């Protein structure tokens, strides 16, 4: 039994190292974290391997970088869709409707219209921001539950640097979205402070499962973790479909 457990543990480590190496192999700009020349499907594959079958918590910062890149690609799709539809509408207004028929499959036209839709864009942008903030929240709570306060403190600084709430310092984040970041940051700081005293009262609890259950009773998440992952999958699948 001990040999089996040891083998399973080794296999898990090997898998985690494999996907961590895959991320490191991407050509990423050290300043912007922008990944170049990597297909959407490859990014999505690595994201799913981090998520399943069991979430690889220590790769959460890398996962967030991948999601940032997928969001940039989504925005490019939106801009491209708007440009193409404008061109089609212009040609149709010039009486070239017949020339356009059959040159663009109906499925492609459907996706162009969907991604060029401003309401759809707002929904998908909101999904991205919510996913990003929820993943940061859950990762930080995971560190507290794991009694790793040192990494917790360091990761807060990484997720919410000193200039995180200056709209001009965050490329692509609106003033309202920056305000959402500030709220999550304040919640995390408050929980970090309250957890110290709560932990002392729970110090005699030996079961990690019970400890985790009581933790989330005391500090309920803004969104359950599984719901967060489901939203991530929905958001990412839409980007994949549009990129085919």
DSSP codes of every residue in 190-230 = HHHHHHHHHHHHTTT---HHHHHHHHHHHS--SS-HHHHHH
The DSSP H or E segment spanning 183 is helix 175-201
Q: Cis check for the bond before 221: say yes or no (omega within 30 of 0).
A: no
In this prediction, residue 189 carries a pLDDT of 93
193's tokens: 């402070």
Q: What is the pLDDT of residues 66-121, one digit of tens each?
A: 999 999 988 888 888 778 777 776 766 666 555 455 556 666 666 677 777 788 88
Among candidates 21, 26, 79, 15, which has minimal Cα distance to 51? 15
Residue 32 to residues 129, 167, 231, Cα–Cα distance (Å): 18, 16, 25
pLDDT of 188 higher than 80: yes
Q: What is the pLDDT of residues 121-179, one digit of tens each?
A: 899 999 999 999 999 999 999 999 998 999 999 999 899 876 556 655 566 788 888 88
Among candidates 134, 224, 227, which has minimal Cα distance to 188? 134
In this prediction, residue 101 carries a pLDDT of 52
Q: What is the pLDDT of residues 227-239, one digit of tens each?
A: 999 999 999 999 9
| C-alpha Rg value of the chain to the nearest Å | 22
Q: What is the pLDDT of residues 212-228, one digit of tens each?
A: 888 999 999 999 999 99
In this prediction, residue 5 carries a pLDDT of 35
Q: pLDDT tier at 33 (50, 70, 90 boundaries)?
A: low
Q: Between these two residues, 107 and 10, which has the higher pLDDT value?
A: 107
């Amino acid at each position: 039994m001990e040999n089996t457990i040891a083998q399973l543990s080794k296999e898990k480590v090997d898998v985690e190292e494999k996907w961590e190496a895959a991320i490191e192999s991407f050509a990423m700009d050290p300043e912007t974290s922008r990944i170049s020349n990597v297909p959407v499907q490859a990014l999505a594959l690595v994201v799913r391997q981090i998520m399943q079958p069991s979430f690889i918590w220590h790769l959460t910062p890398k996962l967030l970088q991948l999601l940032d890149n997928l969001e940039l690609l989504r925005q490019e799709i939106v801009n491209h869709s708007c440009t193409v539809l404008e061109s089609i509408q212009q040609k149709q207004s010039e009486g070239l409707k017949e020339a356009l028929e059959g040159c663009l499959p109906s499925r492609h036209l459907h996706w162009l219209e969907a991604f060029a839709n401003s309401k759809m864009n707002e929904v998908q942008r909101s999904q991205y921001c919510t996913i990003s903030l929820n993943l940061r929240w859950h990762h930080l709570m995971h560190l507290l539950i794991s009694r790793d306060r040192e990494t917790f403190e360091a990761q807060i600084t990484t997720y919410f640097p000193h200039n995180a709430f200056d709209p001009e310092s965050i490329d692509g984040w609106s003033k309202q979205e920056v305000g959402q970041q500030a709220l999550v940051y304040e919640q995390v700081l408050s929980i970090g402070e309250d957890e110290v005293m709560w932990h002392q009262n729970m110090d005699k609890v030996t079961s990690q499962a019970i400890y985790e259950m009581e933790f989330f009773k005391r500090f309920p998440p803004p969104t359950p973790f599984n719901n967060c992952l489901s939203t991530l999958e929905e958001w990412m699948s839409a980007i994949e479909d549009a990129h085919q």
